[in-house]
Amino acid sequence: MLFTKKIKKILLNLTALTSLTLAVTTPVIVASQKINAKALLFPGIALLANQNNVVQLAQRYDKDYYFGISLIGHQHLSYYGGWFYQDKVSWTGQAKTKFRPRDSYYSNPEKLDLRVTSWISGIGSPSFSVGGEIKYDGKFSAKASANVDVSIDSNGYLVDSITNYNHRYARIDYDFHGWKYKVTTFGSSAAANAKYKYKTASLLSDSAYHKVSWLSESLDE
């Protein structure tokens, strides 16, 4: 019995030391990725995270405009790294928005911004792969991010953004991966901002107030 207690104490100390080390050694975290890892070593571990299809729909009706946004895709824990490697999370999907002024069939917003934000909770700093380019901070190259601006902000969130001028529609297609030790949760959401006649309007895809089961208007061009 005494021997068993000693073993448990040693294991607890090792766990605490490992967690502390991982939390303060970002370069080591980045270097310990399984870049091409696709299969779960322990399928049951996915139940601890957010493995699901994502469908977020929201809209606003105003006397001056219709504003709609959607985020539809899939996110899942694609690899469990265990003690020595980071867990890998994968996202794929599409975000769309539409801002239609109601005063004229031909009028458009002066400016329409669309942004997709993705995050991972766990130990240490996350890193992300976009278009085959891997970073744990800063901005991705134009080649990797295609027609959108992609960067990792100061919170460690991956942010995809696009801005259209004098146009009612905006769309972001995303397909990327992220790594972090001991992932607990992860997710994504979209946000849109429009400027029209010296006024501004904003809308979140996961807004509790503007959430809908279906959109009144198509967001496709």
Taking the domains of the chain in order of start, what are their residue ranges? 2-204
Q: What's the confidence (pLDDT) of residue 152?
A: 95
Range scoring the smallest mean pLDDT among 20-29, 162-171, 207-216: 20-29
Residue 145 CA to residue 139 CA, distance in Å, equals 9
Say if CB 184 and CB 196 are below 8 A apart.
Answer: no
Mean pLDDT for 121-135 is: 91
Does residue 148 sit in helix, strand or coil?
Answer: coil
Q: Identity (one letter) of the amino acid at 108?
A: N
Q: Confidence band (pLDDT; 50, 70, 90) for 97? A: very high
Q: What's the confidence (pLDDT) of residue 116?
A: 98
Query: Which residue did the predictor score with more confidence, 37 or 58?
Result: 58
Query: Which residue did the predictor score with more confidence, 21 or 115?
Result: 115
* Closest residue by Cα to residue 175 from 203, 133, 114: 133
Mean pLDDT for 115-131 is: 93
Residue 25 CA to residue 114 CA, distance in Å, equals 34
Does residue 50 sit in helix, strand or coil?
Answer: coil
Whole-prediction pTM value?
0.78
Q: What is the pLDDT of residues 38-91, one digit of tens each?
A: 444 444 444 444 457 899 999 999 889 999 999 999 998 887 777 778 889 999
Host H or E run for residue 95: strand 87-101
Say if CB 71 and CB 190 are below 8 A apart.
Answer: yes
